[in-house]
């Protein structure tokens, strides 16, 4: 995940975000990763986790999970070792179309276009 620590306002926020980041990355391929799972692993109630994430990152927990998944996917596309279907699966998307829509919304291009842009840049 991109520097979550950089959005921390205090040392406590930084520690919270590091733990959250670690849990998300450990479970990123699990399509069942959700707010309830995060709350359980963070030893917090769902509403408390929601408020804390929203206060620190201005994202909902689901948005944060999706953003982490998509950033990991973009990094995997850049590394070029897996197919787009494998990447989608590795970051917890069960549906290729949902992955493509989410990726497009986040990065402004489809995963295929993103891959083609990387290939074009490297061949110049």
Angle value at C-alpha 24, between 22 and 30, nearest 5 degrees: 135
What's the confidence (pLDDT) of residue 8? 63
9-122 has which CATH code?
1.10.10.60
Model pLDDT for residues 84-98, shown as the tens digit of each residue: 999 999 999 999 999
Q: Comparing C-alpha atoms, which of 64, 72, 114 is closest to residue 89?
A: 72
Quote the CA–CA distance of 9 and 14 in Å, as a whole number. 7
What's the confidence (pLDDT) of residue 33? 95
- 60-71 average pLDDT score: 94
Q: Looking at per-residue confidence, does 6 or 54 come out higher?
A: 54
Where are the chain's structural domains? 9-122
Tell me the pTM. 0.87
Rg of the chain on CA atoms, in Å: 15
Model pLDDT for residues 12-37, shown as the tens digit of each residue: 888 998 999 999 999 999 999 999 99
What's the confidence (pLDDT) of residue 79? 94
Q: C-alpha distances in angstroms, 18 versus 14, 15, 23, 42, 118?
A: 6, 5, 9, 11, 30
Question: Backbone dihedral region of 83: left (phi > 0), alpha (psi from -120 to 50 degrees) or beta?
Answer: beta
What's the confidence (pLDDT) of residue 1? 43
Quote the CA–CA distance of 15 and 118 in Å, as a whole number. 34
């Amino acid at each position: 995940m991109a520097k979550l620590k950089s959005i921390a306002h205090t040392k406590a926020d930084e520690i919270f975000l590091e733990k959250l980041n670690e849990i998300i990355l450990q479970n990123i391929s699990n399509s069942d990763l959700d707010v309830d799972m995060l709350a359980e692993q963070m030893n917090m109630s769902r509403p408390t986790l929601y408020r804390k994430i929203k206060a620190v990152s201005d994202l909902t927990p689901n948005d944060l999970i999706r953003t982490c998944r998509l950033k990991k996917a973009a990094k995997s596309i850049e590394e070029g070792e897996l197919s787009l279907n494998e990447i989608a699966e590795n970051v917890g998307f069960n549906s290729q179309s949902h992955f493509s829509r989410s990726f497009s919304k986040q990065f402004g291009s489809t995963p295929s276009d993103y891959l083609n842009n990387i290939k074009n840049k490297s061949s110049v």
